[in-house]
Structure 1
Amino acid sequence: MQTFFSHGKLLITGEYVVLDSALSLAVPTKLGQKMEVLFEENLADNTLTWYSIDSEGETWYREEFLLVEANNQIQVQTHPMDVCNTNAISDKLCQILTKAIALNPEFLKNGSYVVKTHLDFPNNWGLGSSSTLLCNISKWAEVDAFELLEASFGGSGYDIAVGMLGGDVLYRSPAMWEGYVYQPSFKDKLYLVHLNQKQDSREGIAAYKSKKVKVQDIETISNLTEALIACQDFDAFQQLITAHETCISGIIEMPTVKEKLFADYPFAIKSLGAWGGDFILACGDNQTPNYFHQKGFETVLSYSELIK
């Protein structure tokens, strides 16, 4: 049996504008997704049986695909009995696997496979259930994960860089990124708070692309990222993330999360990823968890608890 693992991610700076190659900082989470692959050689009718298992241990998706060889290449097909039952998840999985075969024609040949994916985190946390899946499939198929992304979900690709590297990254585009080690001296004063809802990143991308973004805004966020990674002063860090929130707020024409939900909070807060859901970064002290719990937000994690 083969086993693959990819870490989840959080985008600390550069949400939205990373699509226009603004310099952005992304970090891996300790939690991720594991994929186990069991191979059975040369059965008469080769199949691929797929199980997706959530963080509670429940199988929420199961599908059996036929692996049909034609013109010396495998075709992934849904079962003939399912021809009237369209499934968006199965269609997307077929799309990803078909692209992987195009990149590596030897992939999925010579037998049947049973694949089980295990997600460490709740699916609504927005830590990258799709990107970790793509990374694991690319490791299994030995193909370029960025090409799988382009052929399936789309997006900037920062999450793919984090999943493939398993470490912090400074990111502009699939062709322009590098590993980095981000270790703020004040990380004991940083908290990750889940907003009790998942934000659809593809909806956020579509909304952003409808805006007119100035080159100056891209440069501003890039400069803020440069300043943030060099910053070792807690108060200065709060000023930087507040400036970042103000800039993005102006671009996407939405109020900041602090203005909308936490105006009375005494420290700086920053949205992570598409605004409106998933996690936020809250600066604070030992009273921070109590503040958010009283507001009805139960998932409050220290930086070291969640970030690798």
Structure 2
Amino acid sequence: MDHVSDSPSIQLAPHGKLLLTGEYFVLDGVPALAVPTRRGQSFEAVHLSDSSDHDVYWKAYDVEGWEWFNHAYDKEEWARAQVQSEDPRARILQILYAAETLNPGCTRQLRGVEVSTHLQFDRKWGLGSSSTLIAAVAKWLGVNPYALLEQTFGGSGYDLACAFAEGPILYERNGTSPKVTPVSWEPDWLQQTCFVYLNQKQNSREGIRAYRSATVSEHAKTEIRRITTALLTGSLHLRAAARLLLEHEEIVGNTLGLIPVQQKLFPGFPGAIKSLGAWGGDFVWALSEDEPEKIRKYFNERGYEVVIGYDSMVV
């Protein structure tokens, strides 16, 4: 059994995440290349008093420092928190309840504890507001983070692997015991890439449902695996990398019956653009031989103001 520490006080700062290859297919155990982001979410739990009328005071702040959530919980609440809901108050209850079922007694000391979370990125960006929370709570209460994810938000779990990673990882899903392999991956052409926010957040659970309802061929899985392996080749140049990512886009598009983002929104882009995570929102990855300022201008002129260079985004 896992054990919670003697003191309920803790400070953590899990990273956000981006899935560079293998989106959707990672659910079926296909290896995926993922990276932790510099922007994440800080998590602090402080033991205030055992004589408190409530067990946990929970406060959540956005990137601007605005307190968007505040609630005082007691154990009677999370003992009844078995119904899933998108409401933040119910979601936190569900997480605490799930943690207790996974490690009975782990919430025993949570009386008079104040929890504060501070996002380091816009909540709409999709860099992992949920995964950073699950990763932090799992470490705080001594439970398996992948098991906690299964009982709450669901998903492949690659984002949890990114939460405390120190660089790029190769992630293979395997229930609550995935294979996570740190990779040394710093090709020069990464400096010619950037991440662009598409001005809308995509619900990853909807994307997962679409993938699950599609016919996924073994050939497609093999090709996605090949592309990820090829992308990690040290001698690869930008043009070759761009071709691989466009192949990846074509495979995912054909599998889901969707139009790749470059064809749909940026047909004249001088390079390659790849969707990241759930298609249709959040960030895309752009590769080009043109100067970074020219690429930034290209997207800004089309109404996409958030353009972040690789090194500014990735740990």
Task: Tell me the TM-score normalised to structure 2 length.
Answer: 0.90
**Partner Cα separation in structure 1 for residue 267 and residue 239 of structure 2:** 18
Number of the residue aligned with 1:58: 66
**Mapping of residues 152-301 of structure 1, within 5 Å:** 152-173=152-173, 174-231=177-234, 232-284=236-288, 285-286=290-291, 287-301=294-308
Q: Which residue pairs with 2:3 in the alignment?
A: none
Instruction: Give the 3-state SS of the residue equivalent to 2:160 in structure 1.
Output: helix
CA drift of 1:237 comes to 0.5
Bigger shift: residues 102-111 or 55-64: 102-111
Match of 1:26 among 34, 43, 46: 34
Q: Secondary structure at the match of 2:14?
A: strand
Cα distance in 1 for partners of 2:86, 2:263 equals: 40
The one-letter code matched in structure 1 to 2:280 is G
* Number of the residue aligned with 1:127: 127
- Residues 183-214 of structure 1 show CA distances to partners (whole Å, capped at 9, x for unaligned) of 12211100100000001000111111110101
Look up the SS of the partner of 2:48 in the other structure.
strand
The secondary structure found in structure 2 opposite 1:230 is coil
Larger deviation, residues 174-183 vs 156-165: 174-183
Q: What are the Cα deviations for residues 216-263 of structure 1, in whole angstroms up to 9, with x where unaligned?
A: 111110110000011531111111101111111100111110000000
Q: Match of 2:268, as an amino acid?
A: D
Q: Which residue of 1 aligns with 2:6?
A: none
Which structure dedicates a bigger proportion of its chain to strand? 1
Aligned equivalents of 2:308, 2:243: Cα separation in 1: 22
Give the Å deviation of 1:178. 1.7
Letter in 2 for 1:229: L
Counterpart-to-counterpart distance in 1, 2:191 and 2:54 = 52
Match of 1:76 among 65, 75, 78: 78
Contact 1:7 1:166 in 2 (8 A): no
Find the aligned partners of 1:131 and 1:15 in 2 and give their Cα distance.
16
Deviations 1:108-153 (A, max 9, x none): 3233211000000001111000000000101111211001100000
What amino acid is the match of 1:305? S
Compute the RMSD of aligned alpha carbons. 1.8
For residue 11 of structure 1, the aligned residue among 1, 16, 19 is 19
Question: 2: distance between equivalents of 1:290 and 1:44?
Answer: 54
Contact 2:54-2:72 within 8 A present in 1 as well: no
Pick which of 197-206 and 110-119 moved more. Answer: 110-119
> Structure 1 residues 104-113 or 206-215, which shifts more?
104-113
TM-score for the superposition, normalised by structure 1: 0.92
Contact 1:193-1:280 within 8 A present in 2 as well? yes
Q: Which runs of 5+ in 2 are unaligned?
A: 1-8
CA contact (8 A) 1:138 1:144 kept: yes
Instruction: Give yes or no for contact 1:65–1:77 (8 Å, CA) kept in 2.
Output: no
Superposition deviation, residue 3 in structure 1: 0.7
Shift of 1:38: 1.0
Q: Which amino acid aligns with 1:12?
A: L
**Partner AA of 2:22 in structure 1:** G
User: In structure 2, what residue type is equivalent to 1:281?
Assistant: W
Q: One-letter code of the match for 1:158?
A: Y
Structure 1 unmatched ranges of 5 or more: 69-74, 79-85
- 2:26, 2:32 within 8 Å by CA — same for their partners in 1? yes
